[in-house]
Amino acid sequence: MKIKEQQVLIDKNGLPKPLEVNCFKCKNNFLVKFVIPKQSYSRKNNWSYWTEKEKHQNKYICNNCLRNTYYDKMAYWEAVKNPKKRALFRSYIYDKHI
């Protein structure tokens, strides 16, 4: 999700403002931060990043729901198929990024 593909609001420092999105599972609002080195918004909460399915495009999931999905092993193994992304997901959980 590159910055050029979406409308971006710029803050007073000239950086894009965080996106305010809704979790598709629990319907809570949360912010997705802009990552300066990658020049795009964080993909951690983008469900299509983890599942690699186009039907999940533009679906965001909050950290609590991500954590709950990880601990529900059947749902986790069904959703996240890519071994590299599973390892990244696991490291996010254990390093308390999620």
Give the C-alpha separation, 80 to 29, whole Å.
23
- Average pLDDT score, the chain: 87
Q: Which pair of tokens denotes residue 33?
A: 């931060």
pLDDT at 60: 95
Of 52, 31, 44, nearest to 70 by C-alpha is 44
Number of domains present in the structure of the chain: 1
Q: Can you tell me the mean pLDDT for 82-90?
A: 94
Q: Can you tell me the mean pLDDT for 66-94?
A: 93
Q: Residue 68: what are its φ and ψ, rounded to 5°?
A: -65, -35
Q: CB-hemisphere CA count at 13 Å for 18? A: 11
Greatest Cα pair distance, the chain, in angstroms, is 45
Give the C-alpha separation, 37 to 55, whole Å.
28
Range of the domain at 50: 3-94
Q: Which pair of tokens denotes residue 83?
A: 């071994």
pLDDT at 42: 92
